[in-house]
Every structure is written in structure tokens, then in C-alpha cells.
Amino acid sequence: MKISTAWLQLKYEKLRLLVALGGISFAVVLIFMQLGLRAALFDSAVALHSKLQGDIFLVSPRSTALIAMDNFSERRLYQSLAFEEVESVVPIYLGFAQWKNPQTRNYWRNIYVIGFELGDKVFDLPGVKENLDKLKIPDVVLFDEASRAEFGPIVSEFKRQGIVITEIGDRGPSNRRIRVEGLFQLGTSFGADGNLLTSDLNFLRIFPQRPKGYINLGIIKLKPGYDVIKICEKFKKYYPTDIKVLSKQELMEQEKKYWDSSTPIGFIFGFGVVLGIIVGIIIVYQILYSNLSEHLGEYATLKAIGYKHSYLLSVVFQESLILAIFGYIPGFVIASGMYNVAKNATLLPVAMELTRALFVLVLTFLMCFSSGAIAVRKLQEADPADIF
């Protein structure tokens, strides 16, 4: 009967109920989108990190993120070979270059170029291993097939012709003519719309101003059986302050921290979640307060015939529960569809996750119950002596 009372009160004004559910659904969608884009920000930022095959990583202490990697001497990397625990090392070059759209011939766009020393398996990426031998040829690169369409119809042209020829450089006389002879898959991020993979020698041909021997990232692979954490701590004590030693997890956390706290993007997404919660609380409060005001006489009557104040409170909180459930369901469905739209439009890894769905469901309950806790103060006015 308690649930029936709460439901009957809500559906008494059907239009108001629909408006309330629409408002709650809007707040749920807003929260879902902010959390989804924030997760995509972090996932795309560490996509390359997660595919690196290594145990310990060396970077310059002035490096903050992949899009802002400073150089350091590769001699520091090769010094680690003096330790018996080290199996191999791989130097990585990173940088942005101007890519010339081979179709329009006059449209340039920044593309992220990754150069590495060919040899051991470095990247756990589809399309890299089978194309390693091609990268030994001068001016040959692999193109990320998950790059944005603004770079041109590279994937379709490659599948049709087996090769794509274009230019890359600084849009000046030092432009380099390159050949795409293979595809791999990494994906876009908030920092890079497209990616190229090539050898370290080809990288230095593309960036002639970069001195050989100054790298952006050093990868250290340990021999089997050694504790990565202990060896990492050992290296941190060994290297001077001009080198920063990180485990793979620490490298990924540094990247996430940069996007979360050193750029406005992380703050904007977090603020959007808070804004969605505030909007939901206000909407639910207005609905509950209006219901209580209109039915204050009925509540006073229930008090007069013996119902306790706790029963009246339970009715209000049951209304909050009903609004939360029926507002969450359409919000979840709409957000799932919008995730697909955002993924197709941005090529970012925006996807619905079970943990996020449950988290937003809990937030919705808290949002509605908070509104109910504020609105129940109106019940204090439901005094039979005052009403009658």
C-alpha cells in the first residue's frame, strides 16, 4: 500500500510526471556522456603505452605527456645494459609532422610519428609484426587505419593499390616524400588525430633537424624471473636526476595525470558530472515539493487518523525511488546510443561499461534521495490542527 500511495501521487499529474522523468533522464544522459568522454580521454591517452612491450621506461624529467616529450641522450638507455637483469633496450623517437593529404594535395594536418629501432617485438599492435621488414626500406611508413578521415582515403587507396605516396614534413622545402606500405591499428586520442609508425632511421629522415642519438622514450626489457618493481627502484637510485625511471603503470599514470590536472579537459568533464547531478536534484526536488504542497491536506488527514510521520517520510522516499528507476532507464538507453554516435564521429574509444552503468545508477538514486530529503521538510507543515 505504501508503494501504491507513492505511485498514485506521482501519476496523478501525468504531464508533470513525464516532465520529471524527462528531466531526470537528461541529467542521467549528461552524467553518462561526461563520464564516458572522460574515460575515453584516459583510455586513448594511454593506448600506445598499453601496447608497448617493455618493463621499465626512461623519459626526460621535463616530459609530461606523449604530446610533450623532451629529448634525452640514448646513452642513458644503453647504460642499463650493464645490469645483468636487462635483456634488451629499445629507443623510441616521437614527434608531430605535417601530413599532406594525397587526394586534395593542398590540405595539411598534424600527424603523430613514432620511430623505433627495428628488432625485438616493441609494439603489440595489429599489423606491425607482419610489416617490420618493409620498414627497413628508406621512406616507408605504416599508417594507422583508425586515424581520422581528414588525412585522406589512405586505407581504401592502400587496399586498392597496395601503396600510397604522399609528403610529410614542415610544409617547406624539407618535405619528405614517403610511401605507405602497410597498415596498423592504434586509434586517435585528444592529442593526436592520426599516427604513423616507422623505423628510427626513417624518423630521422622525416625530421632532419633532430640529432641522432637523442630519443624521447627508452624501453628496457628485463630477463624472465626478475621483479620489475624491485629493479625499477634499483634503476631510480642508479640514474641521476636528468633521467626519470618509470614502470609501465607509472608511465600510464603520469599520462593520465597530465590530461586530468594539467589541461582543462579533465576539469570540464568532472564539472559536467557535478552539473548533471545538480540539475537532477533541482528537478526532482521541484516535483516532490509540488506534490507535497498540493497534497498537504491529504498528508494532514493521514496524520489525523493515526499514521506516523515516518510513514509519510517513507512515501516521499518511495516517490524518489520510483523517479530514479523510471528516469534512469531511458537515460541509459539514450546514452548508449549517443556513445555510438560519439565513437563514430570522433573515433575515440567511447563505450558503455557495466561498472559505469552501475555507478551512474547509484548516483541517480543518491540524486533523487537527496531531493527527497530536502523536500520532506514540507511535511512539517502537515499539521491537522493547522489544516482543519
Run of H or E residues at 173: none
Q: What is the pLDDT of residue 1?
A: 46
CB-based contact 132:229 (threshold 8 Å):
no
Find the length of the chain: 388
Measured distance CA(268)–CA(365) in Å, rounded: 24
Percent of the chain residues topping a pLDDT of 90: 58
Distances, alpha carbon 191 to alpha carbons 41, 95, 258, 260, in Å: 9, 12, 12, 13
Q: pLDDT digits over 322-357, tens only?
A: 889 999 999 999 999 999 999 998 888 999 999 999
pLDDT of 317 strictly over 90: no
* CA max distance for the chain: 94
Among candidate residues 94, 106, 103, 105, the one with its CA nearest the CA of residue 68: 94
Cell of 144: 594507422
Q: What is the pLDDT of residue 309?
A: 63
Q: pLDDT digits over 90-148, tens only?
A: 999 999 999 998 888 777 889 999 999 987 689 999 899 889 999 999 999 999 999 99
The pTM for the full model equals: 0.84
Measured distance CA(203)–CA(223) in Å, rounded: 29
Q: What sign does the CA torsion over 153, 154, 159, 164 have?
A: positive
Q: Tally the C-alpha atoms within 13 A of residue 297's C-alpha that lie toward its C-beta.
A: 2
Answer with the residue of higher pLDDT: 30 or 387: 30
Amino acid identity, residue 23?
G
The torsion of the CA quartet 33, 39, 43, 45, rounded to 10 degrees, works out to 90
Cell of 252: 600510464
Q: pLDDT digits over 198-216, tens only?
A: 999 999 999 988 888 899 9
CB atoms < 10 A from the CB of 154, how many?
Answer: 22
